[in-house]
């Protein structure tokens, strides 16, 4: 029997503000699980801290709601230890690019087979409206009262530059496209990064649904996601047009592929033999 | 059989191959069936600075690297200046007259040898000076040549036949020089011991292999002195037992990955030193809160901050016992010698699984990098505890991962199998659902702390020796054991033996055994290699008595005579 959406839904109702972009991400994720017909006990959804990191709690799958910034290494540990488990790491832009930013390049260049979905609202929601690493220059918040003067990180360009082998952008208000992107990210063999525009209706009065509705456009039909330089150029278009879709995709041996080769090649030993060889 | 007990110290410039020479000597002596016990001191930099290796070898049990030196090898003037005062009267100095000018003294036997010239002219490779030196020692003190050659072949074999040939030649050149030119003026010699069933192992290797034996199949780490050997050994050996080791971007990632791997069903470990443990603090709290078993090895070094990376200190006890914010139960174990590193690491994994708590193993620089000969473990008698995993029956009865039980424990679900739950750092109820209710927090905190009692079910967490009737006691922890044994052996000969208690479980403290020990004590000396007297503080806090602290701010281990002196003062 194929699974239905309700097989993946947890008992808890989401605690997000009405209208929060994260609802669309949750819906798309449930759709993707259903479409891929994954076994709920075979999924681990790992998050850090932030509004979006509450997501695992609304599922019936395995999950880790961990510490701020540490979702990626915990997710990698799960995947390396138990490669048959489908690992999805989720969280916000603060988790990914501020406190946890040191882990991102290494997860990407290892090409560990997991999907990382970042719900990007360009603000800190859970702590009530401070400036984020993805906030625009001049953006005023309670912690940037004179306007932000730090250049924002462009998550898609960043992910491509550090070697992610699948990089895409979606919009939480376009659930069908987002479902397709999540399915593709999970199916991708290697580190798949998905930047999801997920508006904060409570604290971000600049980057609203309306703001994004006016700008979000799918990548041109003839766009080929095989050129990292072109992909970064397209990712950096952010003013009047913001592209969504798969920016970059590349086939490359995963970390697990390398591990499998090593495991096949080494001379097996028992723990006793290893101890006795100390002389 | 005649008693052999030789202490050899080699000193020189860091980068001259002193540590390698020491290791070759050590392994050769061990393979000739002698006991060995080593100590090394070296700078954190790869080249420059002073480096020293000391090896004690004997055909009787030994508990320290020795206080006085029988044979000093000085490769430069600094080595002579620093170390000549610890050579016992009538001891030997081997040196290169080109670079060392010893005092004119008659209590030392001088063997000048042109070590550098031999390496340069006869071997034509200056970097073989260390092996030429070994050759001289081998001839003078009858260190079995076949064992030396065997070890040299293993150590240099992978570097290509040319390098190996040079090193084997260097050994012969050194031996030949000593045979022809040195008139032996003492009768120090090694010879051969009776064959015994021993292995020779460092503290770090004992931890790494203890972990593998305990069933650890996931290791993540970041290079840090003096714990790096554990990473290197496990990167190499873990795949041979079907496990995975990974070098990651920082210590935070190292512990996070290990926690992830454990959540996913593997026994997992990371190893670091003080700075890394500081970075891991928040995750220690997470593992405690989410009840995920994990083992963290802290090979202590001189602190705080970067401190003294290559020097010994026992100043992370507070950090191990109390770090991470909030009320955070964890297990802390401290092995007392190299052999104990193997067994306590296994114990650490057993307790991690038994309590579903983070376990910190406190080793230290001197313990981790020295070699000792140890008895081959009786593998079949070592108990390995496995994880309690939720069964189909328990699932049918409405399994809750964090349900409050008498023991505090519930079996774990493992991804890939039924039993899905959310592991959380937020306070949560029995089902794992976040809760900020005071009553829930009270009950869950009590439940998590209750699991510490499961560690106290074992009664082998203390080591006691000496005279139980004595009103004078010594309580200590970790690698001070060797120096304390040397001191108490001498006190025994003088009929003044104290009672000694080593505490290997520092969190939770084995209350029953400590109270039993304290019953008849008038004075209790607590030696530890830290400035602040950390175990003294814990003992005072938990057992309400005034210990007599003996502290060394670190940098090196205690010598036996320092303990002896203090005990005689106290007596």
Question: Where does the pLDDT of residue B44 fall: very low under 50, low under 70, confident under 90, or very high at 90 and above?
Answer: confident
* Cross-strand pairs, B372: B37, B201
Contacts of A50 in chain B (CB under 8 A): none
| Residue among B552, B446, B464, B526 nearest B501 (CA) | B464
Q: Is the pLDDT of residue B542 over 80?
A: yes
Contacts of A103 in chain B (CB under 8 A): 249, 252-253
Among B240, B249, B283, the residue with its CB nearest the CB of A103 is B249
* Cross-strand pairs, B549: B526
CATH of the domain at A237: 3.40.50.970
Residue range A237-251, pLDDT digits in tens: 999 999 999 999 999
d(CA B6, CA B151): 20
Among A65, A84, A270, the residue with its CB nearest the CB of B416 is A84
CA distances from residue A79 to B121, B266, B328, B526 in whole angstroms, order as listed: 57, 11, 27, 46
Beta strands B462-466 and A166-171 are unpaired
Thinking of the domain B5-181, which architecture would CATH place it in?
3-Layer(aba) Sandwich (3.40)
Residue range B155-214, pLDDT digits in tens: 998 888 899 999 999 999 999 999 999 999 999 999 877 777 789 999 999 999 999 999
State the pLDDT at residue B66. 87
Contacts of B286 in chain A (CB under 8 A): 66-67, 70
Q: Looking at the 3D structure of chain A, how many domains does it have?
A: 1
B266/A67 Cβ within 8 A: no
Residue range B363-372, pLDDT digits in tens: 999 999 999 9
- What residues contact residue A77 under an 8 Å CB cut-off, 6+ apart? B218, B220, B256, B257, B258, B259, B260, B261, B262, B263, B264, B268
Strand, helix or coil at A259? helix
Question: Where does the pLDDT of residue B106 fall: very low under 50, low under 70, confident under 90, or very high at 90 and above?
Answer: confident
Crossing angle, helix A71-81 and helix A255-265, to 10 degrees? 40
State the pLDDT at residue B276. 98
The separation between CA B93 and the C-alpha centre of its own chain, rounded to angstroms, equals 30
CA distances from residue B305 to B228, B250, B252, B308 in whole angstroms, order as listed: 18, 16, 16, 9
Contacts of B283 in chain A (CB under 8 A): 67, 70
Question: Where does the pLDDT of residue B359 fall: very low under 50, low under 70, confident under 90, or very high at 90 and above?
Answer: very high
Query: Which DSSP symbol is given to A253?
Result: -
Residue range A31-43, pLDDT digits in tens: 999 999 999 999 9
* Cross-strand pairs, B428: B434
Write out residues 297-316 of B within 8 Å (CB-CB) of A: none
B244/A259 Cβ within 8 A: yes
Give the number of beta-carbon pairs within 8 Å between A and B.
175
Residue A205 falls inside a structural domain: yes
Residue to mutate among B416, B429, B434, with most A CBs inside 10 A, is: B416
d(CA A268, CA A264): 9
Among A80, A262, A267, the residue with its CB nearest the CB of B261 is A80
Burial class (CB in 10 A: 0-12, 13-18, 19+), B126: exposed
Residue A278 falls inside a structural domain: no
**Domain extents in chain B:** 5-181, 201-379, 392-455, 462-570
Strand, helix or coil at B230? helix
Tokens standing for residue B471:
């009103």
Q: Is the pLDDT of residue B43 over 90?
A: no
Among B199, B241, B283, the residue with its CB nearest the CB of A67 is B283
Q: Does B263 touch chain A (CB under 8 A)?
A: yes
Strands (E), B42-152: 50-58, 69-74, 87-95, 108-112
Among A61, A82, A259, the residue with its CB nearest the CB of B420 is A61
* Cross-strand pairs, A47: A65, A90
Burial class (CB in 10 A: 0-12, 13-18, 19+), B48: exposed
CATH number of B201-379: 3.40.50.970
Residue range B267-304, pLDDT digits in tens: 999 999 999 999 999 999 999 999 999 999 999 999 99
State the pLDDT at residue B2. 82
Among A80, A274, A278, the residue with its CB nearest the CB of B244 is A80
Residue range B423-450, pLDDT digits in tens: 999 999 999 999 999 999 999 999 999 9
Residue range A45-97, pLDDT digits in tens: 999 999 999 999 999 999 999 999 999 999 999 999 999 999 999 999 999 99
| Residue among B506, B492, B531 nearest B321 (CA) | B506
Q: Does B248 touch chain A (CB under 8 A)?
A: yes
Tokens standing for residue A26:
């949750």
**Do residues B503 and B455 make contact, with C-beta atoms less than 8 angstroms apart?**
no
Q: Is the pLDDT of residue B46 over 80?
A: no
* Other CB atoms within 10 A of residue B521 CB: 18
**Maximum average pLDDT range among B7-16, B54-63, B94-103, B529-538:** B529-538
Question: Where does the pLDDT of residue B40 fall: very low under 50, low under 70, confident under 90, or very high at 90 and above?
Answer: confident
Between CA B460 and CA B472, with CA B466 as vertex, the angle to 5 degrees is 110
State the pLDDT at residue A256. 96
Share of chain A above pLDDT 90, in %: 99
Q: Does B287 touch chain A (CB under 8 A)?
A: no
Residue A28 falls inside a structural domain: yes
**Do residues A238 and A154 make contact, with C-beta atoms less than 8 angstroms apart?**
yes
> What is the distance in angstroms between the Cα of B530 and the nearest Cα belonging to chain A?
32
> What is the distance in angstroms between the Cα of A38 and the nearest Cα belonging to chain B?
11
Q: Is the pLDDT of residue B8 over 80?
A: yes
d(CA B249, CA B279): 12
d(CA A100, CA B194): 58
Write out residues 62-101 of B within 8 Å (CB-CB) of A: none
Strand, helix or coil at B120? helix
Contacts of B341 in chain A (CB under 8 A): none
The whole-chain average pLDDT of chain B stands at 95
> What is the distance in angstroms between the Cα of A111 and the nearest Cα belonging to chain B?
13
> What is the distance in angstroms between the Cα of A179 and the nearest Cα belonging to chain B?
23
Residue A165 falls inside a structural domain: yes
d(CA B377, CA B374): 8
Question: Where does the pLDDT of residue B570 fall: very low under 50, low under 70, confident under 90, or very high at 90 and above?
Answer: confident
* Other CB atoms within 10 A of residue B44 CB: 15
- Fold identical between B5-181 and B462-570? no
ipTM for this model: 0.98
Residue range B127-147, pLDDT digits in tens: 999 999 999 999 999 999 999
Q: Is the pLDDT of residue A226 over 90?
A: yes
**Do residues A42 and B420 make contact, with C-beta atoms less than 8 angstroms apart?**
no
Among B250, B376, B417, the residue with its CB nearest the CB of A41 is B417
> What is the distance in angstroms between the Cα of B378 and the nearest Cα belonging to chain A?
10
CATH topology for the B462-570 domain: Rossmann fold (3.40.50)
A61/B240 Cβ within 8 A: no
Q: Left, alpha or beta for B546 (phi > 0: left; psi -120 to 50: alpha)?
A: beta
Question: Where does the pLDDT of residue B237 fall: very low under 50, low under 70, confident under 90, or very high at 90 and above?
Answer: very high
Q: Supply the range of the domain harboring residue A194.
A: 5-253
Strand, helix or coil at B334? coil
State the pLDDT at residue B203. 97
Q: Is the pLDDT of residue B1 over 80?
A: no
HSE-CB at A20 with a 13 A cutoff on CA atoms is 22
Question: Where does the pLDDT of residue B73 fall: very low under 50, low under 70, confident under 90, or very high at 90 and above?
Answer: very high
């Amino acid at each position: 029997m194929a699974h239905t959406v309700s097989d993946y839904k947890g008992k808890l109702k989401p605690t997000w503000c009405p209208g929060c972009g994260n609802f669309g991400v949750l819906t798309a994720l449930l759709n993707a699980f259903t479409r891929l017909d994954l076994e709920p006990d075979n999924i681990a959804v790992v998050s850090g801290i932030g509004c979006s990191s509450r997501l695992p709690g609304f599922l019936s799958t395995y999950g880790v709601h961990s510490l701020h910034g540490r979702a990626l290494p915990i997710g990698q540990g799960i995947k390396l230890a138990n490669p048959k488990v489908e690992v999805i790491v989720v969280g916000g832009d603060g988790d990914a690019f501020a406190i946890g930013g040191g882990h991102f390049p290494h997860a990407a260049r290892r090409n560990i087979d997991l999907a990382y979905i970042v719900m990007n609202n360009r603000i800190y929601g859970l702590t009530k409206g401070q400036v984020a690493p993805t906030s625009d220059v001049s953006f005023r918040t309670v912690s940037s009262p004179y306007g932000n003067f730090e250049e924002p990180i462009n998550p898609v360009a960043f992910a491509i530059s550090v070697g992610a082998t699948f990089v895409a952008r979606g919009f939480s208000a376009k659930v069908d496209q987002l479902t397709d992107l999540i399915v593709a990210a999970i199916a991708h063999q290697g580190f798949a990064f998905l930047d999801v525009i997920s508006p904060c209706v409570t604290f971000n009065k600049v980057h609203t649904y309306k703001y994004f509705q006016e700008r979000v456009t799918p990548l041109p039909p003839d766009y080929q996601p095989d050129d990292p330089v072109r992909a970064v150029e397209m990712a950096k278009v952010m003013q009047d047009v913001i592209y969504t879709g798969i920016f970059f995709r590349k086939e490359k041996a995963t970390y697990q592929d390398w591990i499998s080769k090593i495991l096949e090649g080494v001379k097996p030993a028992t723990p006793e033999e290893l101890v006795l060889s100390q002389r | 059989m005649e008693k052999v007990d030789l202490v050899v110290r080699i000193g020189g410039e860091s980068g001259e191959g002193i540590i390698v020479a020491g290791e070759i000597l050590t392994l050769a002596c061990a393979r000739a069936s002698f006991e060995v016990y080593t100590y090394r001191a070296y700078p954190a930099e790869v080249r420059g600075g002073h480096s020293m290796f000391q090896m004690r070898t004997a055909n009787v049990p030994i508990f320290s690297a020795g206080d006085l030196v029988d044979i000093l090898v000085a490769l430069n003037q600094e080595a002579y200046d620093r170390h000549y005062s610890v050579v016992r009267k009538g001891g030997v100095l081997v040196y290169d007259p080109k670079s060392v000018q010893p005092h004119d003294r008659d209590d030392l036997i001088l063997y000048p040898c042109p070590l550098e010239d031999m390496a340069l002219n006869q071997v034509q490779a200056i970097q073989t000076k260390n092996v030429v030196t070994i050759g001289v020692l081998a001839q003078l003190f009858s260190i079995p040549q076949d064992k030396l050659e065997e070890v040299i072949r293993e150590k240099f074999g992978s570097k290509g036949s040319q390098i190996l040939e040079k090193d084997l030649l260097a050994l012969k050149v050194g031996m030949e020089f000593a045979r022809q030119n040195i008139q032996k003026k003492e009768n120090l010699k090694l010879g051969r011991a009776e064959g015994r069933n021993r292995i020779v192992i460092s503290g770090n290797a004992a931890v790494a292999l203890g972990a593998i034996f305990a069933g650890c199949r996931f290791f993540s780490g970041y290079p840090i002195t003096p714990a790096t050997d554990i990473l290197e050994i496990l990167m190499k050996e873990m795949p041979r037992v079907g496990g995975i080791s990974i070098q990651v971007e920082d210590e935070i990632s190292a512990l996070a990955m290990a926690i992830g791997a454990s959540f996913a069903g593997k026994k997992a470990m990371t190893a670091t030193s003080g700075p890394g443990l500081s970075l891991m603090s928040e995750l220690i709290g997470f593992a405690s809160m989410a009840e995920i078993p994990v083992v963290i090895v802290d090979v202590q070094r001189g602190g705080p901050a970067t401190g003294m990376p290559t020097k010994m200190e026992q100043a992370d006890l507070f950090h191990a016992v109390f770090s991470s914010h909030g009320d955070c139960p964890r297990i802390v174990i401290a092995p007392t010698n190299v052999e104990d590193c193997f067994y306590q690491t296994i114990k650490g994994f057993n307790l991690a699984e038994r309590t579903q708590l983070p376990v910190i193993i406190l080793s230290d620089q001197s313990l981790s990098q020295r070699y000792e000969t140890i008895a081959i473990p009786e593998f079949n008698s070592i108990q390995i505890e496995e994880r309690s995993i939720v069964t189909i029956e328990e699932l049918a009865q409405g399994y809750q991962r964090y349900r409050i039980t008498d023991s505090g424990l519930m079996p774990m679900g493992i991804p890939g199998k039924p039993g899905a739950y959310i592991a959380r750092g937020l306070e949560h109820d029995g089902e794992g659902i976040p809760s900020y209710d005071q009553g829930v927090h009270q009950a869950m905190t009590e439940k998590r702390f209750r699991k510490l009692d499961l560690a106290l079910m074992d009664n082998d967490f203390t080591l006691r020796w000496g005279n139980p009737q004595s009103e004078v006691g010594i309580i200590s922890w970790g690698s001070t054991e060797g120096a304390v044994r040397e001191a108490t052996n001498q006190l025994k000969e003088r009929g003044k033996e104290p009672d000694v208690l080593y505490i290997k479980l520092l969190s939770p403290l084995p209350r029953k055994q400590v109270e039993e020990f304290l019953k008849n004590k008038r004075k209790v000396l607590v030696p530890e290699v830290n400035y602040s007297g950390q175990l003294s503080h814990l003992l005072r806090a938990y057992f309400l008595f005034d210990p007599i602290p003996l502290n060394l701010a670190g940098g090196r281990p205690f010598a036996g005579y320092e303990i002896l002196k203090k005990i005689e003062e106290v007596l």
